[in-house]
Amino acid sequence: MIRRHLRRSAFFVLVAGLFAWLVFPLYYAFVTSLRSGSAIFRVSWLPDGADFSNYVRVFTEQPFGRNLLNSFLVATAVVAISLLLGVTAAFALGRVKFRGRGTLLVSILAVSMFPQVAVLSGLFEVIRTLRLYDNLIGLVLAYTLFTLPFTVWVLTTFMRDLPQEIEEAAILDGATPWQLVTRVFLPLLGPALVTTGLLAFIVAWNEFLFALTFTLSDRQRTVPVAIALISGGSQHELPWGNIMAACVVVTVPLIVLVLIFQRRLVAGLTAGAVKG
Amino acid sequence: MAEVKLEGVTKSFGRTKVIEGLDLEIADGELVVFVGPSGCGKSTLLRMIAGLEDTTAGEIYIGGRRVTDEAPARRGVSMVFQSYALYPHMKVYKNIAFGLTLAKTAKETIDERVRRIARLLQIADLLDRYPRELSGGQRQRVAIARAIVREPKVFLFDEPLSNLDAALRAQTRLEIARLHRDLKATSIYVTHDQVEAMTLADRMVVLNRGKVEQVGPPGELYHRPQTLFVAGFLGSPRMNFLKVDVADAVATSAAGAVPVDVKTFTGPATLGIRPEDLHLAQGGTSPTIRGEATLVEDLGETRIVHVQAADGTDLAFHHREGEPPRPGTTVGLVVTSNRLHLFDADGLRVPNT
């Protein structure tokens, strides 16, 4: 009896510790964002007063709203393109037998193994040739290159696990390949789509290096770069308050998204176990 | 009219030929059952008729039209799958209606047909449920409804009952028989269960290694098997086979001598005796086969007695009345002489003369 209580409370302590470890940075950013002036540099763990002036300044001193919109547009486009190409590719790779399928899958995976920096200069040339420098479409292109491999892989795995007989039933019902994908497979892939879509969104939302390299003007910047480039009155002053406020603002959409799709996300992790 | 005709149909995967030069004609409204051991090519053949597998060589005709290279949906066939293969994300109504929706049938027509067929299959009150909320038997009905609603020329059943438990299987089997009687649609039914095959079939096609062993009504296949394979495949317990030498209308083995109705045949052969045609020699009758009883299985309505014949062959026979022989005792057996089967060295039936 006592042992069980002991084990349960140990487990609880472990979970609480993990939770604190994960949430503390965000918490501290939030607390800091509510302070101003020299209060920021005093180490204190509890919030003291609520001063929202940092938030106001983030939006007034630079086109931060515009940056948020940019990030949102880019991430949404990346998700849409990745899922569209991912689902169609997964259909071919998961359901159609053809020579070289395994090789193709491995090479798709290989693409994602190059570090970003390695392809940066090459990609820069591509973007310039396509006249997409300082253009959001350039970012969409660059991010899609990195989200596609895992999207294709995850969706292929899910697609392959769908029962063969359902596909055959649909074929006998007169479904064209496109109808098969959109009306039978897509609804069944729902959880997988949510999972991969969310991951792609987070990747695109947080990406920094490409966004820094491929954009120039304030109005084309995405949020991570905008935050990094927030500057204070002089060269030696870093406006921590503003930066922290901006960080909190960018984190909120992700949290909201995850909360909205939470149920389907969990379903996605166990989806393979449910048979039609 | 929707007769099905197969001409020299062949299927090979790489070098292995799964089905070899198969000819078969199925009349309009007939229910034909393909039976055979697993790997005999029966499912492959069905899937070729459905169009889910390519035909390597030969031609397939449905209703007089050559469909060998047609897309599955354009052949006018529908199929009931072993695992039901319902669309898990659609309610029963949409599952049944899906094919019609894709064919852009008018909404009222769809509604009318779906509801009529749901009533026919007694699933009218399940239309608003998802497949996961149904029992196995109900799912199978939905699958059948989905196949019927498109009013195909030919129904294909791919082992539709093997996922159901025994009681439900017997019940659903009766329903399929009733449905076929009502709809009079040409049907092809694949199973490895010989009870299903015997009870449902107008004609049975016994397949073995991609070739047709025999085609005919169940009774004919049971009582006059043309090959050793068919004789051994149908019937449970299976037919007893004795290695014999035939001369002067007597089949002789170390276990005994049995007179047979074959005057002209001489040489080595296999004598087939159904378990119900083998009896204990009683009273004055002199036994024709001798052996030692090894095991008695009591099934209630009958007992199956296993005997090791004097030449080492294992035999089984039905024993319904009186005391069964005790294991270890010597028994004498007699046969119903006008129901014997004789097969030559190639496994082909020797006709009575």
Both B37 and B106 in a single domain? yes
Q: Which of B203, B228, B253 is the endpoint of a domain?
A: B228
Contact B52 A163 (CB under 8 A): no
Q: Which of B125, B150, B151, B157 has the alpha carbon at shortest distance from B138?
A: B125
Handedness of CA A85, A88, A93, A97 (dihedral sign): negative
Once rounded to an integer, what is the mean pLDDT over residues B79-105? 89
Contact A276 B87 (CB under 8 A): yes
Chain A contacts of B72, Cβ < 8 Å?
Answer: 171-172
> Given B79, B89, B102, which is nearest A175 (Cβ)?
B102
As a whole number of angstroms, the distance between CA B153 and CA A88 comes to 33
- Strand B256-259 with B303-309, pairing: unpaired
Both B167 and B310 in a single domain? no
**CATH code where residue B181 lies:** 3.40.50.300
Both B160 and B280 in a single domain? no
- All domains of chain A, ordered by start, with CATH? 63-239+251-273 (1.10.3720.10)
- State residue B105's pLDDT score: 86
The two tokens of residue A250 are: 């960018």
Which residues does B contribute to its contact with A (CB < 8 Å)?
50, 52, 72-73, 77-79, 81-83, 85-89, 98-99, 102-103, 131, 146, 150
Both B63 and B147 in a single domain? yes
pLDDT tens for each residue of B137-189: 888 889 999 998 888 889 999 988 888 888 888 888 888 898 888 888 899 99
pLDDT tens for each residue of B313-338: 999 999 988 888 889 999 899 988 78
Complex ipTM value: 0.82
Give the burial string for A237-267 (b: 16+ CB within 10 Å, else e).
eebbbbbbbbbbbbeebeeebeeebeebbeb
pLDDT of A276 > 50? The answer is no
Classify residue B351: in a domain, yes or no: no
Both B250 and B273 in a single domain? yes
pLDDT tens for each residue of A215-247: 888 788 888 888 888 776 666 677 787 888 888
The mean pLDDT of chain B is 89
Structural domain span for residue B81: 4-228
Give the count of Cβ contacts less than 8 A between chain A and B.
60
Both B36 and B135 in a single domain? yes
A171–chain B Cβ distance below 8 A for any pair: yes
Place of tokens 């299987």: B169
A contact test, residue of B44, B70, B77, B81 with most A CBs within 10 A:
B81
**CATH code where residue B326 lies:** 2.40.50.140
What's chain B look like in SS3?
A: CCCEEEEEEEEEECCEEEEEEEEEEECCCCEEEEECCCCCCHHHHHHHHHCCCCCCEEEEEECCEECCCCCHHHHCEEEECCCCCCCCCCCHHHHHHHHHHHCCCCHHHHHHHHHHHHHHCCCHHHCCCCHHHCCHHHHHHHHHHHHHHCCCCEEEEECCCCCCCHHHHHHHHHHHHHHHHHHCCEEEEEECCHHHHHHHCCEEEEEECCEEEEEECHHHHHHCCCEHHHHHHCCCCCCEEEEEEEECCEEEECCEEEECCCCCCCEEEEEEECHHHEEECCCCCCCCEEEEEEEEEECCCCEEEEEEECCCCEEEEEECCCCCCCCCCEEEEEECHHHCEEECCCCEECCCC
Place of tokens 């998700």: A79
Chain B contacts of A172, Cβ < 8 Å?
Answer: 50, 52, 72-73, 77-79, 99
Amino acid (1-letter code) at residue A183: R
Total domains in chain B come to 2
pLDDT tens for each residue of B276-307: 999 888 877 778 888 999 999 999 889 999 99
Task: Categorise residue B64: left if φ over 0, alpha if ψ from -120 to 50, beta otherwise.
Answer: left
A127–chain B Cβ distance below 8 A for any pair: no
Classify residue B353: in a domain, yes or no: no
Chain A contacts of B83, Cβ < 8 Å?
Answer: 163, 165, 276
- Name the 3-class secondary structure at A95: helix
Both B156 and B272 in a single domain? no
Contact A276 B77 (CB under 8 A): no
Both B219 and B303 in a single domain? no
Chain B contacts of A179, Cβ < 8 Å?
Answer: 102
Q: Considering only residues 144 to 163 of chain A, which have any Cβ-Cβ distance to chain B shorter than 8 Å?
A: 163
Dihedral angle computed from the Cα positions of residues B310, B314, B320 and B323, in that order, rounded to the nearest 10 degrees: 50
By C-alpha distance, the chain A residue nearest B100 is A173
Chain B contacts of A169, Cβ < 8 Å?
Answer: 79, 81, 85-87, 146
- State residue A272's pLDDT score: 44
